[in-house]
Structure 1
């Protein structure tokens, strides 16, 4: 990808975010407008930690949390939940009510009084829909609003009705039959385990936790490349998709962010899995083999990771922000939690320093940007996405994608502990 192309896309993405921010100025709440000034005259004070600087920058770009991911109208979509998880932790750390209001306003906007969720469609059986449920679990714990409980029960019902592979693995979406994607483990399993911890007991809870662990077992069984230790983006049990290997059902490449989703899924789901559950030891083992594999494909010069992980030297490939942030978050959280030896912190630090040096830029007003994020990538659909190397390296690149800024905030928080 030529530098000029990256620069143009980055400017376009920033301009888009600026337009959205300006358009919302009149409707922004008084608390949100506080983020736009400081004693230093900066929109975002430069004397704060990186986690807070990035969250305040996101709140400046997207005065309403539903606007994250450059949305022009409220939409139930997973990227907001990642940034809001960072907001939850920063509210707990700082007590800044602006952060809580940012989260709370999202819930109030997205969930109607009858418990229905804006733009949500149960019959699509889209596993992506589950991730924002973590925001509602947080808000219900704080506010006990009946509408959040009703919405949470709807999301839990979706889990019960999700179509599955023969071995019990969740399809990624109803429109992607017989397919498990790495992305889906992050979208579904932390919420599934979190909900179970809050609302289920006894045999019901044990069954759910076993189901959660089984999803990781199936990913390891069906998507792992034993030679490299990396995992392919997706697997088609039916082997019918054009992108699927006719013998294995696997997609053809190791996409950086797909691997990033999987790493975050593992370290996050352990927050909710009981200490005495036998699945914990298995998942911690998966984290170790996973981390060893991604270390082998880390770019030694920058400390970053490539869009297509194992093809760093090939034409068009580039070091990508969201995957790099996700890998760093996975590793440093795993070290902090004791899942990985402390020696792995140096690798995470190298990656984090690489992000700060190569992918972060700061505007004159203090607003922080995360550059070189892949906007989106998937498989199948219309127009058809083939999963080839050329497909991945030619998807849109933009700045300040929440699939990168969210993990960056979370990684920063782990380093700041």
Structure 2
């Protein structure tokens, strides 16, 4: 068992735990190596709720939470936070310490005693880096460790220095000047709102909440398609990018996960925005419009959503797991919170059943797999990503991407209430 102490060996084993029975697995294998049985020794019971079955599967695949997203070395990586949010809620529900230990070990590994964060570089002003701050907010409230407070203050300082558009919208990253991406709303605003609720006082609080609402206002003003109600992946205020429309600055397509991020951003920010804040009315109206738009492009047969939302019948487009999980989570949480009428539950339920029927496989050890996940997609960069239809449908597809398993766990928890 000494090999388990070696992180690289653990990672190699974890990466092999994709179901051999999944027709969607990136590199399916007919047999497990002998040592795999040591990692998946205990079978995951089918009697457990789906939320726990998926989280336990993730913990088997990735014994250290920093390994989520298939990282080979400790990395401050936004997808980890989504799975750990599910772990937080499952721990609060069950009291089972193994879930808490999975979270706290991540914090201890990633934050040094001086409060510095492994692999984090403030100078890059990358909104993606804020999302894991939610894990530290949870751990700080539980443990009150000084190193978490220092790390949180560093992350909060990034918001103060984040480059902005002329209307105050955050650039997605410093290396993507003048650009707002839907992804960034989820990466930045729930953490910003959560931090503000817990730490801020007086006029600073009001200023911060107004700033958060403004991020959504700028997105709604520039990225929404008035004909369909869908939102484009990104907007370049300067119109300089090759992917940007020279008149509008918009990217050319409606990417499923980009819209998924946006919906989750709205419902999660509402958790922290005061009931009497006037911005709530705006966010609720944006949420209603958003859900009405995604319902129109929901696949009638399966209840799922396509990688490129409005081009379901076109060649190589496919029913994608991460966006579908995010849409289901956004809608069922909205119904449970009273943000939407109960009539929306039927659409969420249809999507949930579609995921279970079409995208979930379970192997002989009880390991649950979520298949047909788009691994990554973006715009610009090197090699250059054009945002074309062909670009989105040809990006890597893999199983058990945390950008899908995390929202799936959260959606399951909402259905299990």
Deviation of 1:268 after TM superposition, in Å, equals: 0.2
What is the alpha-carbon distance in structure 2 between the residues aligned to residue 10 and residue 237 of structure 1? Answer: 39
1:266 aligns with 2:281: no
- 1:56 alignment partner in structure 2: 56
Preserved contact between residue 26 and residue 397 of structure 2 (Cα < 8 Å): no
1:3 matched residue in structure 2: none
**1:14-25 to 2 correspondence within 5 Å?**
none
Partner of 1:69: 69
Is contact 2:235-2:251 (8 Å) kept?
Answer: yes
Partner Cα distance (1:256, 1:372) in 2: 13
Q: Which residue of 2 aligns with 1:302?
A: 302
Contact 2:76 2:119 in 1 (8 A): yes
CA distance in 2, matches of 1:389, 1:9: 21
1:325 equivalent to 2:340? Answer: no
Rounded to whole Å, the distance in 1 between the matches of 2:196 and 2:294 is 31
Name 1:184's counterpart in structure 2. 184
Residue 10 of structure 1: how far off its partner (Å): 1.2
CA 1:140/1:36 → structure 2, altered by over 3 Å: closer, same or farther?
farther
Q: Paired residue for 1:400?
A: 400
Which residue is equivalent to 2:375? 375
**Hey, what does 2:213 align to over in structure 1?**
213
Q: Which residue is equivalent to 2:200?
A: 200
Query: Which residue in 2 is equivalent to 1:349?
Result: 349
Cross-structure match for 1:4: none
Matching residue of 2:6: none
Distance 2:300 2:23 in 1: 27
Is the contact made by 2:24 and 2:371 (CA closer than 8 Å) also made in structure 1? no
Residue 339 of structure 2 is matched in structure 1 by: 339
Separation in structure 2 between the aligned mates of residue 8 and residue 265 of structure 1, nearest angstrom: 32
* CA distance in 2: counterparts of 1:147 and 1:45, whole angstroms: 37
Q: Distance in 1 between matches of 2:301 and 2:41?
A: 36
2:298 aligns to what SS in structure 1?
coil
Match of 2:275 in 1: 275
Name segments (4+ residues, structure 1) moved above 4 Å. none
Cα separation, 2, equivalents of 1:290 and 1:97: 38
Retained in 2: the 8 A contact 1:361–1:370?
Answer: yes
The separation in 2 between residues aligned to 1:132 and 1:9, in whole angstroms, is: 29
How far the C-alpha of 1:267 sits from its partner, in A, is: 0.2
Q: 1:64: Cα distance to partner?
A: 0.4
Which residue matches 2:361? 361
CA displacement 1:144-176 (0-9 Å, x = unmatched): 000000000000000000000000000000010
- Say which SS state the counterpart of residue 190 (structure 1) adopts: helix
State how far apart, in whole Å, the 2-side matches of 1:401 and 1:281 are. Answer: 34
Q: Which residue in the other structure is 1:28 paired with?
A: none
Is the 8 Å Cα contact of residues 74 and 118 (structure 2) preserved in structure 1?
Answer: yes
- Residues 253 and 389 in structure 2, CA contact (< 8 A), matched pair in contact too: yes
Alpha-carbon deviation of 1:139? 0.1
Partner of 1:10: 25
Taking the aligned partners of 1:200 and 1:182, their CA distance within structure 2 comes to 26
**2:186–2:265 Cα contact (<8 Å) kept:** yes
**Secondary structure at the counterpart of residue 10 of structure 1:** coil
Distance 1:8 1:404 in 2: 17
Q: Report deviation, 1:296.
A: 0.2
The alpha-carbon deviation at position 265 of structure 1 amounts to 0.2
**Residues in 1 aligned to 2:166 and 2:61: alpha-carbon distance in whole angstroms:** 44
Unaligned regions of 5+ residues in structure 1, if any? 1-6, 26-32
Tell me, in whole angstroms, the C-alpha distance in 1 between the residues paired with 2:75 and 2:178: 26
Deviation at 1:11, TM superposition (A): 4.2
SS at match of 1:315: coil
1:48-68 Cα shifts (integer Å, max 9, x gaps) = 000000000000000000000
| TM-score, with structure 1 as normaliser | 0.92
Residues 332 and 411 of structure 1 are in contact (CA less than 8 Å); yes or no, is this contact kept in structure 2?
A: yes
Q: Which residue of 2 aligns with 1:30?
A: none
Task: Find out whether 1:149 has 2:149 as its counterpart.
Answer: yes
For the residue of structure 1 that corresponds to 2:25, the secondary structure is: helix
How far does residue 8 in structure 1 lie from its aligned partner after superposition?
7.1
TM-score under structure 2 length normalisation: 0.92
- In the aligned structure 2, how far is the partner of 1:241 from the partner of 1:330? 31
Name the residue aligned to 1:46: 46
Shift of 1:36: 4.3
Match of 2:105 in 1: 105
Q: State the alpha-carbon separation in 2 of the partners of residues 281 and 201 from structure 1.
A: 23
Asked if the contact 1:36–1:60 (Cα under 8 Å) also holds between the matched residues in 2, the reply is no
